[in-house]
Chains A and B, each alone.
Chain A
Amino acid sequence: MAKFTVEEHVQGKHMVLNMGPQHPSTHGVLRLVLELDGERVVQCVPHIGYLHTGIEKLSEYHNYTKNITHYCRMDYLAPINNELAYCLAVEKLIGLPVPARASYIRVAMHELTRCISHLIWIATHGMDIGAQSLFFYGMGEREKILEFYELVGGQRMMTSYIRIGGLQADVPAEFDERVRAWAKDFPKAVDMIEGLLTKNPIWTKRTQGVGVLDQRTTISYGLMGVLFRACGIDMDLRRDNPYCRFEEFSFDVPVFPEGDVYSRYQVRMEEMRQSCRLVVQALDKIKQTEPGTTMWVSEHFAPPKRDNVERDIEGLIHHFKYWTEGIKPPAGEAYAAIEGSKGELGFYVVSDGSAQPVRVKVRGASFVNLAALPAMVEGGLIADVVAVIGSIDIVLGEVDR
């Protein structure tokens, strides 16, 4: 896909620049080798793999519940999303029903995760483009949501809160009131960030018309998610292929037609508002369900209640088998995808009836989105490379796995 001639290259007309794995703007360990004609990018070759952990290989050696902790650390900006997608896939494989309360709490955490992912996106994207103070706005708002992560899962980031069959534990009593108080103020925070950027001439000059990708190429690259919606394709997995009882919720899907960095920015800002709306709806629905039902009682696929463990021998054996050997789904395969904050995040799980999966394939949104980077960047200026990388919102943990 090179657009230069060999003579130009040989005569030294083009300069090869390495935007190395350590770079303040590459959002992680991404290496770009750029061939430049002055300031114009002639060719861009991304090199990835600097964070390759072999998570897919590791998953074949650990049981289904232990694998949840690995996937948290893949897309580390939106940890609960990974757990959710994986648990949905395994539940599909087993055919395990999930109680309504667990589904609604999952929706609330899913949308809160979308908010933190987008907040850190705007924090770093703005900082790269030059609006350095945005970093503090974004991170400050994010801290308020991380308090809920800590409330619910005990840890600020990698909570392993979502388990196969439901949740690890029920939400504490103050969850409802604190999240409602947050949801009242959050739209004002989004307004504040939008007020800084949307009509800002520097922002619009740097983002409008930059990194444009037409619809046909976008569909062929299979980008899904925000990049589709920013190109004018109306598609949202929450609405079209609902999971986690999303059919009971009402929300709007923002679609902007231009396909440049600015429209991706607009899509994500609007998504944050819609997420806030969804969180409040989820809280109302959680109130209507019975507290304590976060996982159905199941002899094979759920841990026993603590009373049973301490009272009779069957409970003790069940407890022992569940936590040492793990669950054993029936042989088969399943794929479940969620509308992650970066695109479609999916897990393809194959089981052969034993306690370890045979194959787990993670369909990471960032891996697919990054493949389209050369198409967006070639022909543009080198300063636009930074804007485009920020706009596709990659997280290298998901790219390299």
Chain B
Amino acid sequence: MTDPSKRLINAPSMDDKRPYIDGWKPDPHVPILLTRLDYLLRLAQTNSLWPVSFGLACCAIEMMASMGPKYDQSRFGAEVFRGTPRQADLMIVSGRLSWKMAPVVRELYELMAHPKWVLSMGACASCGGVFQTYSIVPGIDHIIPVDIYIPGCPPRPEALQDGLVKLQNRIRTGVAKNPFAETSGRMDGT
């Protein structure tokens, strides 16, 4: 859990078109001459988040409805669901994760190339939801790091898109850096 004083209280909104937010500090890994390019890169990533088709249970149906004609997700650039995680940069974990499936999720997450983000959709993915049983993982953040949690059982397609927009804002402003970007990805810290 991050220190509350370090968390952003005023989250960036959709209308905020400035490339840098208040209190922005230059990313030490990006040379100063390339900051504009870095911004363009983040803008491109934001508007073309390609999810890997990873639906587990009921929330997956709402995810499919969000892709459907009424709640068109391609407005956000995120309608191209790739079959393989190698070609995707967003994983929307929608539905209850069981212990049998957990190694598979981890493997899929590892197969995705950096930069990658994870959206935990629904109550079951975020915390186990209605099903606190022997076979359900109480929250996917036991297995993979998560960027945005979307509550609901199942969350409406608009809620999913709201979460997606929040993630997009965080990516565009550089806040959502993948926590494993500079590390090996091993969870034991080596």
Contact = CB atoms under 8 A, between A and B. Distances in A.
B131 A53 contact: yes
B57 A73 contact: yes
Contacts of B70: 139-140, 143
A259 interface: no
A124 B100 CA distance: 25
A371 interface: no
Contacts, number: 101
A54 B104 contact: no
Interface in B12-40: none
A369 B132 CA distance: 28
A29 B101 contact: yes
A54 B68 contact: no
Nearest to A135: B68
Given A23-B83, A50-B101, A73-B130, A397 B57 contact: yes
Nearest to B98: A52
A70 B135 CA distance: 15
A136 B74 CA distance: 13
B131 A140 contact: no
Nearest to B132: A58
By size class, the interface of chain B is 35 or more
A51 B101 contact: yes
Given A20-B104, A24-B83, A29-B101, A157 B134 contact: no
- Give the interface centre of A29, A140, A142 by most chain B CB atoms within 10 Å: A29
Given A21-B101, A139-B68, A157-B62, A51 B56 contact: yes
B134 A54 contact: yes
B134 A22 contact: no
Contact of B98 (A23, A51, A136): A51
B69 A70 contact: no
Contact of B69 (A24, A29, A140): A140
Interface in B93-114: 95-96, 98, 100-101, 104, 108
Contacts of A54: 131, 133-136
B54 interface: yes
Contact of A58 (B81, B85, B133): B133
A257 interface: no
Given A24-B81, A157-B62, A53 B136 contact: yes
A187 interface: no
B100 A52 contact: yes
Interface string B39-73: 00000000000001111111011101101111000
A76 interface: yes
A29 B53 contact: no
B164 to A, nearest CB: 18
Contacts of B166: none
Contact of B56 (A24, A28, A70, A143): A28
A383 to B, nearest CB: 15
Given A52-B98, A69-B130, 20 more contacts: A21-B101, A22-B53, A22-B104, A23-B83, A24-B83, A29-B56, A50-B101, A50-B104, A51-B57, A51-B96, A53-B133, A53-B136, A54-B131, A55-B133, A70-B130, A76-B57, A142-B65, A156-B62, A158-B153, A158-B154
18 contacts: A22-B52, A22-B54, A52-B135, A53-B96, A53-B133, A73-B57, A120-B64, A135-B68, A136-B68, A136-B69, A139-B67, A139-B68, A142-B65, A143-B65, A157-B58, A157-B62, A158-B58, A400-B98
